[in-house]
Amino acid sequence: MYSEKVMDHFTNPRNVGEIENASGVGTVGNAKCGDIMRIFLDIDDNGIINDVKFKTFGCGAAVATSSMATELVKGKKVEEALKITNKAVMDALDGLPPVKVHCSLLAEEAIHAALWDYAEKNNLKIEGLKKPKSDINEEEEEIKEEY
């Protein structure tokens, strides 16, 4: 069902944990849908993401996408981190099963939420960053039914 990369990031997730007094924290998803991701960012004065941690309640793909997303943003500038899409996360994981695509969207959104929090706390305006939705809808699900 899952690629080896996904299984690797699921069973040995990178950057699990919390950051005390994080520069930004974002939590997205909800327990109803079975996925909650929380991302902690430590951002230095030059806008570089020095450290990142996550906690995730969710399926294997949710954990793996969180793990991969944290790997991808780590050491990046805020502006670069913002450009990391769910597609990039999926590609880095060698793909996800169709029903799990929403996990990668959630991971992208969690990064955005943490950046938003960072921006609010520091009264910054980050170019291109919109207030994140706390949740994403599984639009891809519908397609199956139409067929």
How remote is the C-alpha of 28 from its chain's centroid?
9
- Residue 56 as a binder of another protein (CB under 8 A): the answer is yes
Q: Which of 27, 48, 76, 126 binds another protein (CB under 8 A)?
A: 27
Q: Which of 63, 81, 84, 90 binds another protein (CB under 8 A)?
A: 63
d(CA 110, CA 68): 12
**DSSP character at residue 14:** T
Nearest to 55 by CA among 45, 44, 43, 69: 69
Rounded to a whole number of angstroms, the minimum distance from the CB of residue 70 to another protein is 12
Rounded to a whole number of angstroms, the minimum distance from the CB of residue 128 to another protein is 26
d(CA 87, CA 117): 23
Active-site annotation holder among 103, 106, 113, 114 = 103
Rounded to a whole number of angstroms, the minimum distance from the CB of residue 42 to another protein is 17
- Residue 140 as a binder of another protein (CB under 8 A): the answer is no
Q: What is the strand order of the sheet 35-43 is part of?
A: 24-30, 35-43, 49-57
Please, which residue, 14 or 77, has the CB nearer to another protein? 14
Between residue 73 and residue 102, which ones bind another protein under the rule CB under 8 A? 99, 102
Q: Is 59 a catalytic residue?
A: no
Nearest to 102 by CA among 114, 110, 94: 110
**Phi, psi (rounded to 5 degrees) for 16:** -75, 140
Residues known to be catalytic:
33, 103
Residues that bind another protein (CB under 8 A): 1-2, 7, 10-11, 13, 16, 18, 27, 31-38, 54-60, 62-63, 99, 102, 138, 141, 144-145, 147
